[in-house]
Chains A and B, each alone.
Chain A
């Protein structure tokens, strides 16, 4: 792998890490799978792309975040107020977003704005390593650090603690006079705000985007969460969040490497799904093996 592809892989990892950080709130803290992600990713991409096309890249990021959080709030309302299962609520919002995303993109399947101003314009050509521009990467690192710091702070505030407890023991939270419905809506909103932010940066990074890119985003980011936690662990929240960022980078680098070795890129989603299945199966495999050893040793009289 050449240095430039490594830098590219890290940069992509640092963009998709934001997506995984968002999903962490729904998936790990609230323990609710949120399928809105596949749709709200495209929402963020569409809003950011269209506004960047009209020379408003920063406004594009802001509006994308707002759009994403609204999508999450809709899922939250469907789940808590209409009592629709979390997975179905997410699928419903995601499906509805297909139309909304196309409308935002003016019925066109792609958005392009090559050569126009993006949030990276200002950060291009500032820092070099071996002649490779790493300025974009540095900006992305700063954004990641800021998001992780904000999340750590938030999860230790009163609302943040209530959110964590809601995923932990809902009965207890309600008996502490906390509205758990509200907490879940906030959780879905935050998740999708971060998902849309990730997409908003992604589209400006590529200066183009397609409305089909959202398919399978949830599984993709789950895979990076699982890889990160396997490598670094999840003992404290800080450690967990850092694990997610690094997991996302490792995952991207692994993909970049596999593609360079000649793996067709159409295999991307198959591999993401397999990684998630394998990671979920691994602990069971371990206990199956341990049980097997126990019986074998028992028979041998050890």
Chain B
């Protein structure tokens, strides 16, 4: 269970550049919840993820994950139980290491660093099996440096790496936005499959409003540092793109270019 209690993030406090990026963010997610987050640029979506993963320190409030207070826990320590994917497929992998070495690194997440060999023969077999399940043929190229993979292949690999040790929270920051439509669908379906199989609590930022309602069981609409709507259950199911647009205009929510183009 993830509890976020009155979290505020203020950048450059006390200066003319002061920006109140998150305002009293308050929500609770149950295990296995899959939340999609929409909102215009600058609404605070990514800042929320940064606060949850620890790459930005919150100004006030509390974050609790599975009963443990993690508000001020360092980012690399939180990474033991929080997996994160970025929009840029280049961000999630080490380009000059091979596929199997990248997996090996991810697999040792939360385990003690040691002078034992990073990848045992048993690990190799295991990695082969899970790569094969991806269905992208990557199991035949395990010793290829990741820099030679396409964006889609990298993002699939990153997804596998983020979930190889099942995280208690998975943060997806527009992780399909940089991919072509076909690959994007492929990665989304893969995401849903992995998340469901392992019952991972997931949050996904997307600018694709269709995706926002197609996947997951809840939707947060963010604007100006606040969660302005939480959609779930019946009201969420019956939502159409036009309704969202109406919602946006009623509350004078700034539309991002992507949203406008969708029309």
Which residues of A lie under 8 Å from residue B160 when comparing CB positions? none
On whether the beta carbons of B93 and A169 are closer than 8 Å, the reply is yes
Do B113 and A165 touch (CB < 8 A)?
no
- Complex contact A177–B79 (CB within 8 A): yes
Interface of chain A residues 27 through 54 with chain B (CB within 8 A):
none
The yes or no answer to A142 lying at the interface (CB within 8 A) is no
C-alpha spacing A154/B116, complex, angstroms: 9
Main secondary structure of the interface of A (DSSP, over half): helix
Please state if A178 and B95 are interface contacts (CB–CB under 8 Å). Answer: no
Report A58-100 residues with CB < 8 Å from chain B CB: none
A162 to B105, CA, bound (A): 7
Q: Count of chain B residues with Cβ under 8 Å from any Cβ of A?
A: 35
A160 and B104 CA atoms in complex are apart in Å by 12
| Chain A, Cβ-Cβ closest to B115 | A157
Give A214 Cβ to nearest chain B Cβ, in Å: 31
Residue contact B94 to A177, C-beta cutoff 8 Å:
no
Q: Does A164 contact B (CB under 8 A)?
A: yes
CB nearest neighbor in B for A163: B113
**Among A153, A159, A165, A177: residue with most chain B CB under 10 A:** A177
Taking the complex as formed, is B118 at the interface, i.e. its CB lies under 8 A from any CB of chain A? yes
A161 at the interface (CB under 8 A from B): yes
A172 at the interface (CB under 8 A from B): yes
CB of B117 within 8 A of CB of A156, answer yes
**Chain A stretch 167-181: residues in CB contact (< 8 A) with chain B:** 168-169, 171-180
Q: Do A177 and B76 touch (CB < 8 A)?
A: yes
Question: A158 interface residue, CB < 8 Å from B?
Answer: yes
Minimum distance in angstroms from B39 CB to a CB of chain A: 24
Within 8 A of A (CB), among B166-202: none
Query: By the criterion CB–CB under 8 Å, are A171 and B91 in contact?
Result: yes
How far is the CB of B245 from the nearest CB of chain A, in Å? Answer: 35
Q: Is the CB of B109 within 8 A of A157?
A: no
B115 touches A159 (CB 8 A): yes
Q: Which residues of A contact B162 (CB under 8 A)?
A: 175
Residues of B within 8 A of A176 (CB): 79, 105-106, 108-109, 161
Task: Determine the residue in chain A with the shortest Cβ distance to B171.
Answer: A175
CB of B13 within 8 Å of the partner chain: no
Residue of B nearest to A166 (CB): B94
Give chain B residues whose Cβ lies under 8 Å from the Cβ of A153: 117
B137 to chain A, nearest CB (A): 23
Whether the pair A161, B101 counts as a contact (CB closer than 8 A) is yes
19 other A-B residue contacts (CB within 8 Å) besides A168-B96, A172-B94: A154-B115, A156-B117, A157-B117, A158-B116, A158-B118, A159-B115, A161-B104, A161-B105, A165-B97, A172-B91, A175-B53, A175-B76, A175-B83, A176-B105, A176-B108, A176-B161, A177-B77, A177-B79, A177-B109
Interchain residue pairs with CB less than 8 A apart (16) = A158-B108, A158-B113, A158-B116, A164-B96, A164-B101, A169-B93, A172-B91, A172-B92, A172-B94, A174-B75, A175-B76, A176-B79, A176-B106, A177-B77, A177-B80, A178-B76
- 4 smallest CB-CB distances across A and B, nearest first, come from A177-B79, A168-B94, A165-B94, A161-B118
- List residues of chain B with CB under 8 Å of any chain A CB: 53, 75-80, 83-84, 90-97, 101-102, 104-106, 108-111, 113-119, 161-162
